Amino acid sequence: MLSQSDKQVLFSIARTSIEAALNYGDVETLRSIPAALRAPCGAFVTLRIHGELRGCIGYIDAIRPLFESVQDAAAKAAVEDFRFEPITEPELSHLEIEISVLSPRTEIHNIEDIEIGRHGLIVEDENSRGLLLPQVATEQGWDRETFYLETLRKAGIPQNARNRPGIRLFTFTAEVIHQDAPAHQAH
């Protein structure tokens, strides 16, 4: 669990990284990073404007410190998510940031082991991988079966291949923190 101070530092890192990405600048390196944010950890950054998705990119595995995962994912979500046009300068004041700090993943062998609202899901085979965050199933009102099928689709695996050998399933949890657009934050 992150402290309130840790969360504020992560949001500051994310916003600074997004602004730098829009201005093609370098991200300023913080001098003092709290210990909790220096630990290796996977993370996703989801960007929304007026509740509508505008970008989501992240790192599944703990390959870098949490603050670096958030820094990089925020910039990429803003300008490199192929599903969307890059965020524009005028949109910054409306940008809502959601950071999902991921637990290590656990392999499962049955979709009945998925807890909707608690688990995110990763589906892999030898050629592809798809991930959906825990909050997606809840937001969409999906049951386990639909969550699994949608994760297969995200991985590019045909639903009729759902039981083929070589498909691996992993669950994970996430600490999800949210920051409203600056115009909507309390002062």
pLDDT tens, residue by residue, 6-30: 999 999 999 999 999 988 666 666 6
In tens, the pLDDT along 158-179 reads 888 777 788 999 999 999 999 8
Higher pLDDT, 41 or 30: 41
- State how far the Cα of 120 lies from the Cα of 132, in Å rounded to an integer: 6
* pTM exceeding 0.85: yes
Q: Which CATH number fits domain 106-172: 3.30.1490.150, 3.30.9.10, 3.40.50.1980, 3.30.450.20?
A: 3.30.1490.150
The domain ranges of the chain are: 4-102, 106-172
CA atoms within 13 A on the CB side of 118: 3
| 3-state SS class at 58 | strand
In tens, the pLDDT along 69-99 reads 999 999 999 999 999 999 999 999 999 999 9
Counting other chains too, the contacts that 140-149 makes at CB distance below 8 Å and 24 or more residues apart are 142/116, 143/116, 144/111, 144/112, 144/114, 144/116, 145/111, 147/111, 147/114, 147/116, 147/121, 148/111, 148/114, 148/121, 148/123
For residue 70, what is the enclosing H or E element?
A: helix 66-79
What per-residue confidence (pLDDT) applies to 187? 39
- Superfamily of the domain at 4-102: Hypothetical protein ph0010; domain 1 (3.30.700.20)
